Amino acid sequence: MASWNDCTVTNNHILPYFDSKTMPPAVAEALTTLPFERNIFKLLANADTLFIPFMKLLSSCWGEGRTLKSSEWQLTVLWTSSLLDAPYEWDMNEPVSRAFGYSDEQLALVRSGDLSSTKLFMDRQRLIREMVRELVEANGVSKANMVKARQTLGPKAAMEVMIIHGIYGMLARVMRSAKIDFNPEIPGLLDILKKFNAKAIEVEKREAEENGIAFYE
């Protein structure tokens, strides 16, 4: 099973990983919705009827129509994985976060939930942290933070935080329940992600500079 302290690739999963070479064509196609084949998707494919529309939903998180900034999307995912004790989810998304300017220091602080530094994090990110914390610990965002989210993030981005948390919260629970194994390392993954997200990365870099927040390349 994936753990925080040992990234050894094991073979201890409880549910089977579907093989894209033997699964029905529509399911195999859904498996390639995102650029990398991962154990979590091969687990989800056990529920093939639900898997196909789910992958469309998941891929929409990468879409340009999203209002939530990419760094905020990744904060939502990483903080969800930290709170729900899902190291595999963190491991999958840490390289994405690095592509969007997160440093070792920032990642360590996100893992601990300490976003107090005004040089490393913005008020929007601190609000997202609180929204996710309340969703996990209280099963709902408080009225005060919902009002703040409507005013600070806007209705669309506020809803995106909750939906993205819901998606990755479900994935975290699947990973833990099925005892998912780490994937083998993908050589050059960060460069691939930077190329794939080049347009969004430039937006993030510009906005970070405008707000006096460090952006690490």
Confidence bin at 30 (pLDDT 50/70/90): confident
Would 1 be classed as within a structural domain? no
- The residues near 190 (Cβ < 8 Å, ≥ 6 apart) are 95, 98, 99
Would 12 be classed as within a structural domain? no
Question: ∠ at Cα 12 (90, 49), nearest 5°?
Answer: 75
> Cβ distance 92 to 177 under 8 Å?
no
Would 176 be classed as within a structural domain? yes
* Same domain assignment for residues 32 and 49: yes
Secondary structure (H, E, C), 92-152: HHHHHHHHCCCCHHHHHHHHHCCCCCCCCCCHHHHHHHHHHHHHHHCCCCCHHHHHHHHHH
Check residue 32 and give its pLDDT: 80
CA dist., res. 139 & res. 212, Å (int) = 34
* Same domain assignment for residues 23 and 106: no
pLDDT at 214 over 90: no
* Same domain assignment for residues 71 and 178: yes
Q: What is the CATH number of the domain that holds 139?
A: 1.20.1290.10
pLDDT (average), residues 191-200 = 87
* Same domain assignment for residues 76 and 115: yes
> Cβ distance 174 to 84 under 8 Å?
no
Largest CA distance in the chain: 51
* Same domain assignment for residues 85 and 151: yes
DSSP state of 52: H
* Same domain assignment for residues 92 and 31: no
CA dist., res. 180 & res. 172, Å (int) = 10
Which tens digits make up the pLDDT trace of 132-153?
999 999 999 999 999 999 999 9
- The residues near 21 (Cβ < 8 Å, ≥ 6 apart) are 28
Confidence bin at 54 (pLDDT 50/70/90): very high
* Same domain assignment for residues 45 and 135: no
Averaged pLDDT score across all residues of the chain: 93
* Same domain assignment for residues 29 and 51: yes
Q: Which domain holds residue 124?
A: 67-210
Q: Which residue has the tokens 């929409």?
A: 60
How many domains are contained in the chain? 2
* Same domain assignment for residues 92 and 187: yes
pLDDT at 48 over 80: yes
* Same domain assignment for residues 74 and 149: yes
Of the listed ranges 64-68, 125-129, 178-182, the least confidently predicted one is 64-68
> Cβ distance 11 to 181 under 8 Å?
yes
* Same domain assignment for residues 178 and 136: yes
* Same domain assignment for residues 129 and 104: yes
Check residue 63 and give its pLDDT: 81
